[in-house]
Amino acid sequence: MSAKILQGKDFAAQIKESARKEVEELKQKFNVTPGLAVIIVGENPASQVYVRNKHKACEELGIRSENISMPETTTKEELLNKIDELNAAKDIHGILVQLPLPDAIKKDSEEILNRIDPRKDVDGFHPMNVGKLVTGNPGLIPCTPAGCIEMLDLAGIEIEGKRAVIIGRSNIVGKPMLHLLMAKNATVTVCHSRTKNLPEVTREADILVAAIGKPQFVTADMVKPGAVVIDVGINRIAPKKLVGDTDFENVKEIASAITPVPGGVGLLTVAMLMKNVVTATKLSVR
């Protein structure tokens, strides 16, 4: 039996529709229009596409968006000054710095991201928001893992009591995913590049999350029949061909549900960003 394909666009549309209603309500009740500022430094073509998609989503939902393009030669100080300016701006409720930064300031990425006011940190990367996630307090949560959880909820897939296995321990995906799944009462294992006997561990998963960054890494023999497979990976294997971290064609014959790449988790990431902008705006009117 072939798996149910969890189409990102269907879930993203639901998330965006509820965000759109909240934007409307914020305008009516508080006379506030949510505002997102996206800083992009340099000319990275993939980043340009991601940023365009974010602005497009803002436009759809009635969120004001500001694009701040800074040259490749921007110094750390110039970028920090721009963040300070946006932290103080009353009409900006969410700030994000598109990664990766150019090589000359890449090593300063953490310091730069930490300069964003945690109440405007719509990527959820600030240590204050990370701490809130770990301690189970409401804050701004990284968009990609938050989108995966929202999708499982919207698809009616039970998490409580399930055995979840995450492959990947990055700060952006793997680690926040651990806390989100644990908060939903799953029993979670996090695997990484030093994990021994990986297929043995992944075969125990009722919910398997792949966030590795290696094309078609998860093969059918690593998946328990009937498992739900969430593929976070985005890998370009040819100029116009993207694949996930899962061998989709073969794994879909075994799994009960699976996200495609493209068209899966990626679309949820942008939708959750919109939700985070709404949450940040609500924080500002409280």
Tokens of 127: 């240590």
Query: Which residue among 173, 205, 207, 227 contacts ligand NAD (CB under 6 A)?
Result: 173
Which one of 53-61, 93-101, 122-130, 162-170 is the stretch in contact with ligand NAD (CB under 6 A)?
162-170
Query: Which residue among 56, 192, 236, 241 contacts ligand NAD (CB under 6 A)?
Result: 192
Work out how close the CB of 150 gets to ligand NAD at its nearest, in angstroms, rounded to a whole number: 13
26 versus 164: smaller Cβ distance to ligand NAD: 164
Please say if 98 is a catalytic residue.
yes
Which one of 68-76, 99-107, 187-195, 200-208 is the stretch in contact with ligand NAD (CB under 6 A)?
187-195
Work out how close the CB of 259 gets to ligand NAD at its nearest, in angstroms, rounded to a whole number: 9
35 versus 168: smaller Cβ distance to ligand NAD: 168
Footprint of ligand NAD on 120-159 (CB under 6 A): 144
Residue tagged 């229009």 (tokens): 33
203 lies in the site for ligand NAD, by CB under 6 A: no
The number of C-alpha atoms within 13 Å of 39 and in the hemisphere containing its C-beta is 30
Radius of gyration of the chain (CA): 19
234 lies in the site for ligand NAD, by CB under 6 A: yes
Q: In whole angstroms, how far apart are CA 276 and each of 120, 158, 181?
A: 9, 24, 19
Query: Which residue among 53, 189, 195, 256 contacts ligand NAD (CB under 6 A)?
Result: 195
Work out how close the CB of 209 gets to ligand NAD at its nearest, in angstroms, rounded to a whole number: 10
Residue nearest to ligand NAD (CB): 170
Burial class (CB in 10 A: 0-12, 13-18, 19+), 220: middle
Which one of 18-26, 106-114, 167-175, 201-209 is the stretch in contact with ligand NAD (CB under 6 A)?
167-175
Burial class (CB in 10 A: 0-12, 13-18, 19+), 216: buried
Query: Which residue among 35, 176, 233, 260 contacts ligand NAD (CB under 6 A)?
Result: 233
Decide: 55 and 65 in contact? Cβ < 8 Å.
Answer: yes
Residues with catalytic roles: 54, 98, 123
Contact set with ligand NAD (CB under 6 A): 144, 167-170, 172-174, 191-193, 195, 198, 211-214, 232-235, 265-266, 269
